[in-house]
Structure 1
Amino acid sequence: METLHRLNIGVHVLFGTLALLVGLVPLLTAKGNTAHQRFGRWFIGLTTVVLATAVLGLAVFNFRPFLTVIVLLSVYQAYSGFRALRTRSTGPTLSDGLFSGVFLLGGLAFLALLPHIQLVWSPVVMYSTLGTLITMTIYDLSRFSWQQQWRRGAWLYEHIWKMTSAYAALLSAFTGTVLAAYKPYSQFMPSLLCSGLALAFMFSAYRKRRHLVRLLA
């Protein structure tokens, strides 16, 4: 069992590191080009393996609630951000709604359990991460009531925010674990920095759309 545990940790660390490296390409290259799309899909695949090994480790070997929350948020935002791109012309589907509902219930259940769990990370980090997950799922469920507006352009900003935030969550898990002596700053600083980067990307996309509208007017 110990050998399997070490193997699982090795795979988790390897694919997590690869996800962080691969994720830099869609993060920093021109949005929409071939490299952006290809590396974005690879990032999703690597993140899925990170989730699978995390779930296996948490359920079978060593339950660590702080990593569970981070992994839940990262995977949800990565998949949801990917789906925003895939459903930009049709709007969210029933499967998207079910996916959001499952993660919403999971987030609420974890929130109810937190007072009874010994927290290794700062409670502020834990509650804010869960709050972000719950808020995001509620937002995603609300899209069914304003699909037309969402298809007109909100999907793009959502895709940018979620994919950048997914990368931030993985980075926070990495720095929070490796740089444990600098907690809580090593836990939330990556999220703050990536949030600023996401806002810059969204503003740039907004300016390009405005410019295109003026040219077509």
Structure 2
Amino acid sequence: MATLHQLNILVHIAFGTLALLVGLAPMLTAKGGPAHLRTGRWFLGLATVVLVTAVLGLAVFNFRPFLTVIVMLSVYQAYSGYRVLRTHATGPTLSDGVFSAVFLLGAGAFLVLLPRIALVWSPVVMYSTLGTLLAMTVYDLSRFGWLSRWRRGAWLYEHIWKMMSTYSALLSAFTGTVLGAYKPYSQFLPSVLGSAVAMGFMLYTYRRR
């Protein structure tokens, strides 16, 4: 079991490093162009391996509440950000609503249990991460009430935000673990930077439309 755990960690680190490097390409290439779409798919594929190994590590080998919260947010952002592209013409489906509801309940349950859990990461990071997940799931469920406006263009800004958030979540997990001596700054500054970059891309897109 120890050998499998070490192998899982090695795969997680290797693919996480590749995801952080490859993830820069969609940011730097023309949005919607062939290179952007191709490298975006590569990033999602790498991120999927990172998240699957993270789930395996937490569920089978070593459960850590603080990393579980980060993984929950990353999984939700990556999948829902991908689904935006698949459903932007028709709007989110019932399965998308169920997916959001499940994560909303999971985040709510974690929020209730958090005071009983010994926190390794800063409480500010934990509560803000859960708050972000709760806000995102509530927003996604609200889309069913304004589908026509969402299809006209809001989906694009949502895609930008979620994919940048996926990248910054991976970066936060990396820096928060590797640069542990600089907590909590190494935990939340990548997310702050990612949010600023996402808003910059959204503003740029708005001005070009």
How would you bin the TM-score normalised by the shorter chain?
over 0.9
Q: Secondary structure at 2:72's aligned position in 1?
A: helix
What are the Cα deviations for residues 15-62 of structure 1, in whole angstroms up to 9, with x where unaligned?
A: 111111111111221110111111111211211211211111111111
CA distance in 2, matches of 1:71, 1:169: 8
In structure 1, the partner of 2:84 is 84
| SS at 2:88 equivalent | coil
Question: What is the match of residue 19 of structure 2?
Answer: 19
CA shift for structure 1 position 82: 1.4
Report the counterpart of residue 4 of structure 2 in structure 1: 4
What amino acid does structure 2 have at the position aligned with 1:172?
Answer: S
**Runs (4+) of structure 1 moved beyond 4 Å?**
none
- Code of the residue aligned with 2:207 in structure 1: it is R
Aligned residues with identical type, % of pairs: 77
Look up the SS of the partner of 1:103 in the other structure.
helix
TM-aligned CA deviation for residue 195 of structure 1 = 0.7
- Report the Cα distance in structure 2 between the residues aligned to 1:183 and 1:121, rounded to whole angstroms: 8
Give the AA of the match of 2:14. L
CA drift at 1:105: 1.3
What is the root-mean-square deviation in Å for CA atoms of aligned residues?
Answer: 0.9
Q: CA deviation at 1:68?
A: 1.1
**Structure 1 CA distance for aligned equivalents of residues 126 and 139 of structure 2:** 20
Map 1:127-206; keep pairs closer than 5 Å: 127-206=127-206
Letter in 1 for 2:110: F
TM-score normalised according to structure 2 size: 0.97
Residue type matched to 1:155 in 2?
A: W
TM-score for the superposition, normalised by structure 1 = 0.94
Q: What are the ranges of 5 or more consecutive residues in structure 2 without an aligned counterpart?
A: none
Aligned to 2:43: 43
For 1:189, the aligned partner's letter is L
Q: Which runs of 5+ in 1 are unaligned?
A: 210-217
- SS of the counterpart of 2:15? helix
1:154: how far off? Answer: 0.4
Alignment of 1:66 with 2:66, yes or no, is yes
> Larger Rg: 1 or 2?
1
SS in 1 for 2:89: coil
Residues 1:121 and 2:129 are matched in the alignment: no
Matched ranges for 1:89-128 at <5 A: 89-128=89-128
Alpha-carbon distance in structure 2 between the residues aligned to 1:59 and 1:85: 30
Amino acid across the alignment from 1:191:
S
For 1:33, give the aligned amino acid. Answer: G
